[in-house]
Amino acid sequence: MRRVFPYTIIIEAHGKHKTAGRNPGAKTGCERGRKKAKKNFFKIFRFAAKNAGFDKPNRDLYNETAHTFFEKEGTEMTLETPRLRLRPWENSDAEQLYLLARDPRVGPIAGWPPHKDLQDSRRILKDILQTEESYAVVRKETGEVIGSIGLRRNSDLASGDNERELGYWLGVPFWGKGYMPEAAKEVLRHAFEDLGLQTVWCGYYEGNAQSKRVQEKLGFTFQWKTERLFVAQMNEYRTGYVNRMTEQEWRRSKIGAVNSQQSTVDSIL
């Protein structure tokens, strides 16, 4: 029988976890404590699991506890950046999904055909997008869905427990504004810091200059090129490129970014 600890332990652990120190007025079980627990869920989960005797909590334990916690707290698991909110896809997103994904400039370059109609979008929403670690990219300013991003497991590139494949697309009206690098940076942080992954893979097909630039900006490193790669959904052969980022590379890039910012500040002062 799988061991599961109740979601209330997350709330109780908040009072002891170091993140509580940033909010001295938060008390165990109070409303402010609940909000803080939601914000720091991933860190507090590891802390609570260890205190409850789970030295190495597995993925099943994490997923079940997260689901129970967010369901009982009446909220959803989300990630945020200055301009964006990354949240699970909802049934009500189908119409906006269709408006974006019907454009022939979006799907085919990524390896999938444009959505034919609203019913097609509803099916894809249910079968593909409403899955674990799949997020709708939402503009905070307007609340509109502008694209999709997620971490796939058991893909052609990511087969191990400690690795995932990063996938994303963005609606044409929102190209050239830096939204996808912004979203992907937060997903990578979530992958390495919250989920404890060791490797994230990412790829693109020849001719997809936008995706190539995003991966370069993020710091992915080139691994290999495959010619005459069959793309089943498009029923054609293409040339594919595979990139990778490890947890160590991600941490080094963070340190480099911090040092660069500090150098800029020093030069101004």
Which neighbouring-strand residues pair with 180? none
Question: pLDDT tens digit string along 147-200?
Answer: 999 999 988 899 888 999 999 999 999 999 999 999 999 999 999 999 999 999
Question: pLDDT tens digit string along 128-139?
Answer: 999 999 999 999
Phi/psi of residue 165, nearest 5 degrees? -110, 125
Give the mean pLDDT of the chain.
81
pLDDT at 269: 43
pLDDT at 251: 93
Looking up tokens 């800029």 gives 264
| Spatial contact of 163 and 197, defined as CB atoms under 8 Å apart | yes
What is the enclosing helix (H) or strand (E) of 101? helix 94-101
- The domain locations on the chain are 8-77, 80-261
What are the tokens at 213? 């630039």
CB-based burial of residue 119 (10 Å sphere; 0-12 exposed, 13-18 middle, 19+ buried)? exposed
Q: Does residue 204 have a pLDDT over 60?
A: yes
| Spatial contact of 101 and 107, defined as CB atoms under 8 Å apart | yes
Q: Does residue 127 have a pLDDT over 80?
A: yes
Mean pLDDT, rounded, for 66-79: 59
Strand pairing class (199-205; 163-170): parallel
- Domain 80-261 class, CATH top level: alpha beta
pLDDT at 254: 78
The number of angstroms, rounded, from the C-alpha of 70 to the middle of its chain's C-alpha atoms is: 17
Judged by DSSP in three states, 206 sits in coil
The DSSP result for 250-262, as a single string, is HHHHHHHHHHHHH
What is the enclosing helix (H) or strand (E) of 145? strand 145-152
Question: pLDDT tens digit string along 1-52?
Answer: 334 445 555 555 555 554 444 443 333 344 444 445 555 566 666 666 666 6
| CA pair distance 224, 206, nearest whole angstrom | 13
Question: pLDDT tens digit string along 180-192?
Answer: 999 999 999 999 9
pLDDT at 43: 61
| CA pair distance 87, 80, nearest whole angstrom | 9
The residue type of 230 is: F
Higher-confidence residue: 52 or 125? 125
| CA pair distance 42, 189, nearest whole angstrom | 12
| Spatial contact of 202 and 188, defined as CB atoms under 8 Å apart | no
Question: pLDDT tens digit string along 73-115?
Answer: 444 578 999 999 999 999 999 999 999 999 999 999 999 999 9
